[in-house]
Structure formats: structure tokens, C-alpha cells
């Protein structure tokens, strides 16, 4: 994983003319604060313009939870409810995740939860209407938002990270990641640090909600989360 670069100060690019979408830099790095913990990063992320997703979303949804959590969970991006409320995993997927963690022996209140991408990406129905339909972020947007995720990992220093779904898996493990192939195993984080966290990948809870075999998908989620719970138990201080 690319090491975190420390900007000398929070830098906000300036220009006299709005660049085209193609010409815009996709990079959150210039918006990161040069110092400070999670609260400073959360405040700075509120003004991030590191990719075009801030233009239509309501607000940045930064990570939340125990700032010294042993377990950090990474989802894809905020959904409609998260965008409105400004907190990750507060919608239906979040409720399912809380229940699955509980059944796996993990108290969600002891974890830190975040997303690979911090703004909600959506489209409108073809015939018009106000409904906002989730649209997956592309690789360029995930890469642009990467500095925030890496900062959260550096500041929380979890022992185990759970990647919820393909977008989180790619953000943490690289573009060759496949949920079907890589889920449920304790994988080393490619950070280059010997004491870096392990990663366990699984389905995103919204994929469980959409699955034809919802019961089977939920059982698979629990099984993968138990791998993370077991890894934590074995490393109990
Ligand atoms: S999605 Fe990430 S990189 Fe893009 S504007 Fe939002 S916080 Fe910045």
C-alpha cells in the first residue's frame, strides 16, 4: 500500500477558471491536514474537493467509532441515509451489519467504521424523479479518496481490518482483489510494515440485502466475520 505522504499544510488548489472534468486532479491528498488526529482529519475532509463526487452529495461522511479500535471495517461509500445523516452505516445495511457483528461475537460499538469513498455517488431515475439510486464509485474515485482511508488506518492502527465488498477490497488489497476468491481468509495488508493489520474480506451488507438467497449470503457474512473475531481473540493483549 502506498505510504501516506504528509503535506506541509492544508493546501486548497486555486484556479481562475474551472477545469474540465477530464483535466481535474483526482486526489484528496492536497486536502489532508499536515498534523492532528482523527477530529482534524474529519474537519478537513468536510471541505475535500479531491474528486467530483462532492458536487452532488450532501456532505462528506467520514469514519466513526472507537478511535483506538482493534477492528476497523471498511465499506464502499455512504448510501442515501448516510449522506443525509452524515454518519457511516446508519441505513438498512448498517443495521444488518450490526446484527451480523453481534452474532459473530463483535460489539460494533468497539469498532471503527468507514468507507473507501467518503461521498455518496448516485444517479436519478431515467424518467425523472427525486429518488437517488446508488452508483458504484469507479477506480479513479476510489484512488482519489485513498489518502483519507490511509490516514484513518494510520491513526486508528487496528489489528484487523474487514473489507466489506469489492470496492473496499480493491482499495485495501489492490485491483486484482475478487470477493469470491479472497473472502474469509486472513490476509496480510500490503503495507510493507511487519506489524501492519490483517485484512478479512467479505460481502458488503447491502449485497446480502439484495441477494436472492439472503439467508445463505447472511450465513456467509457471519462466517467471514468470525474469522476476524477469531484473529482478534488470538491476539488478545
Ligand atoms: S469522494 Fe473522497 S476524494 Fe472525492 S471529494 Fe469526497 S472526500 Fe474528496
145 Cβ inside 6 Å of ligand 1: yes
Helix or strand (DSSP H, E) at 169: helix 166-173
In a domain, 40, yes or no: yes
DSSP 4: P
Task: List per-residue pLDDT tens for the chain, 237 residues long.
Answer: 333 333 333 444 433 455 555 556 899 999 999 999 999 999 999 999 999 999 999 999 999 999 999 999 999 999 999 999 999 999 999 999 999 999 999 999 999 999 999 999 999 998 888 899 999 999 999 999 999 999 999 999 999 999 999 999 999 999 999 999 999 999 999 876 667 899 999 999 999 999 999 999 999 999 999 999 999 999 887
pLDDT at position 235: 86
In a domain, 15, yes or no: no
Task: Assign residue 202 the CATH number of its domain.
Answer: 3.40.470.10
- In terms of residue numbers, what domain contains 123? 29-234
pTM: 0.89
* b/e code 72-83 from CB counts within 10 Å (16+ = b): bbbbbbbbbbbb
In a domain, 20, yes or no: no
In a domain, 22, yes or no: no
Please, what is the end-to-end C-alpha distance for the chain in angstroms?
26
In a domain, 82, yes or no: yes
For ligand 1, atom 2, the nearest C-alpha belongs to 145
pLDDT at position 11: 40
- Closest Cα partner for 64 from 150, 141, 152? 152
57 Cβ inside 6 Å of ligand 1: no
- Closest Cα partner for 59 from 41, 93, 37, 82? 82
With vertex at residue 87, the alpha carbon angle to CA 85 and CA 90, rounded to the nearest 5 degrees, is 80
| CA 3–ligand 1 middle distance (angstroms) | 19
For ligand 1, atom 7, the nearest C-alpha belongs to 118
In a domain, 230, yes or no: yes
Task: Note the residue count of the chain.
Answer: 237
With vertex at residue 201, the alpha carbon angle to CA 200 and CA 203, rounded to the nearest 5 degrees, is 145
In a domain, 19, yes or no: no
Q: Which residue has the cell 484512488?
A: 143
| Domains contained in the chain, number | 1
Structural contact between residues 10 and 151, judged by C-beta atoms closer than 8 angstroms: no
In a domain, 11, yes or no: no
pLDDT at position 171: 97
Residue 155, phi-psi category: left (phi > 0), alpha (psi -120 to 50), beta (remainder):
alpha
pLDDT at position 5: 34
Amino acid at each position: 500500500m502506498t505510504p501516506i505522504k504528509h503535506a506541509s499544510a492544508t493546501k486548497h488548489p486555486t484556479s481562475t477558471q474551472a477545469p474540465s472534468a477530464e483535466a481535474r486532479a483526482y486526489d484528496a491528498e492536497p486536502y489532508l491536514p499536515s498534523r492532528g488526529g482523527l477530529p482534524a482529519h474529519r474537519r478537513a475532509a468536510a471541505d475535500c474537493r479531491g474528486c467530483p463526487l462532492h458536487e452532488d452529495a450532501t456532505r462528506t461522511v467520514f469514519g466513526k467509532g472507537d478511535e483506538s479500535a482493534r477492528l476497523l471495517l471498511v465499506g464502499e461509500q455512504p448510501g442515501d441515509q448516510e449522506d443525509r445523516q452524515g454518519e457511516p452505516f446508519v441505513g438498512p445495511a448498517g443495521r444488518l451489519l450490526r446484527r451480523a457483528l453481534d452474532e459473530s461475537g463483535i460489539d460494533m460499538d468497539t469498532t471503527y467504521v468507514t468507507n473507501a469513498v467518503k461521498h455518496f455517488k448516485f444517479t436519478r431515475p431515467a424518467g425523472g424523479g427525486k429518488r437517488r439510486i446508488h452508483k458504484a464509485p469507479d477506480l479513479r474515485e476510489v484512488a482519489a479518496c485513498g489518502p483519507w482511508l490511509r490516514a484513518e488506518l494510520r491513526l486508528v492502527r487496528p489489528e484487523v481490518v474487514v473489507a466489506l465488498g469489492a470496492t473496499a477490497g480493491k482499495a485495501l488489497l489492490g485491483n486484482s482483489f475478487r470477493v469470491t476468491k479472497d473472502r474469509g481468509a486472513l490476509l496480510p495488508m500490503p503495507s510493507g510494515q511487519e506489524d501492519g493489520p490483517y485484512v478479512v474480506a467479505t460481502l458488503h451488507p447491502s449485497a446480502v440485502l439484495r441477494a436472492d438467497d439472503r439467508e445463505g449470503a447472511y450465513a456467509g457474512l457471519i462466517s467471514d466475520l468470525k474469522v476476524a473475531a477469531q484473529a482478534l481473540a488470538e491476539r488478545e493483549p
